[in-house]
Amino acid sequence: MGTLILAVTSLFLYSVGTALQALHFRGRVESNLAITTLIGLLALTSHGLLIAQTVHHDGGFDFSFFKSSVLISWLIAFLLLGLNLKKPVQNLFLGVYPLAGLTIVMVLIVHGPSRLVSDQSYGMLSHIALSVTAYSLFTLAAIQAVLLYFQNRQLKHNYNSLLVRNLPPLQTMESLLFEMVWAGVVLLILAIITGALFVEDLFAQNLAHKTLFSILSLMVFVALLVGRYTKGWRGITASRWTLAGCALLMLAFYGSKFVLELIFQRGG
């Protein structure tokens, strides 16, 4: 199947999923888990086939800026679809599906230098797999933190908005956020360890700044978890710390890739 057909199919399905979730959010239709899951699985299938044609090449994988983004957006949608089977996270689809659509559009229209990793580099691939999974979880955590922030603000002002009426109770929102952060921290630690084991020369591969920002973000998330269990941090405080850690992590990954590939046009 052609790349363009797969891209259009994925965009259509993500648009349908977003529209249905928006209608549910506004109280126009009832939520249906089976339909939500079916549309999500179909979108993930076409999105996954698109990745197979754009990211995988003979003998390796291209992890350049936009191709990494389209892979990460697939993983974010996949994780969210799985979480939605057990957790009240369906409102996150309103942010995740348009994000996935944007990465698909960008991978089609923007072409930068390639950053190929051999499919025989199992250690490096394991590091990348752990890294992108951690980034995906923290992206979901960032969206959750934004919702939690506005939910707290509106509840404090006794503002019974559409957002407040659609979100789960505050305690549930906070529990979901910290579950995501815990899982992300574990994966980020494993990613840093595998990076130390399998990346031979950080400076030669322009990865020193990425490692520095990743460690800084890990410190922020660990501080958040310590603050949660020692000082009872929650609500707006938890949201701010989560967003600060996610910002550092995005600088580590997207910031370095943007500068190296899109400004200096340096591949790998």
pLDDT digits (tens, 9 = 90+) for 117-174: 777 778 888 888 898 999 999 999 999 999 999 888 887 777 777 777 778 888 888 9
How is residue 64 written in tokens?
């350049």
- 82: containing domain: 1-117
Arithmetic mean of pLDDT over the chain: 86
Q: Tell me how many domains the chain contains.
A: 2
Same domain, 193 and 217: yes
State the pLDDT confidence band at 181, using cuts at 50, 70 and 90.
very high
Nearest partner of 149 among 134, 138, 164, judged by Cα: 164
29 and 74 belong to one structural domain? yes
Contact by Cβ (8 Å): 119, 61: yes
Indicate left, alpha or beta for 110 from its phi (over 0: left) and psi (-120 to 50: alpha): beta
Are 187 and 168 found together in one domain?
yes
Are 155 and 84 contained in the same domain? no
Query: Which tens digits make up the pLDDT trace of 198-240?
Result: 776 554 455 677 888 889 999 999 999 999 999 988 888 999 9
Do 95 and 174 belong together in one domain? no
Q: In terms of domains, do 26 and 129 share one?
A: no
Q: Which of 79, 97, 117 is the last residue of a domain?
A: 117
Q: Are residues 159 and 237 in the same domain?
A: yes
Co-location of 43 and 165 in the same domain: no
Examine the fold and report which residue of 100, 117, 134 is the final residue of a domain before the chain moves on: 117
Q: Report residue 243 as tokens.
A: 């967003």
Q: Of 34 and 209, which is predicted with more confidence?
A: 34
Q: What is the pTM of this model?
A: 0.88
Whether residue 110 is found in the same domain as residue 228: no
Q: Do 67 and 36 fall within a single domain?
A: yes
Are 127 and 232 members of one domain? yes
- Are 242 and 134 contained in the same domain? yes
Residue that terminates a domain, selected from 101, 117, 133: 117
Q: What is the mean pLDDT of the segment spanning 39-66?
A: 87
Token pair listed for 87? 């957790």
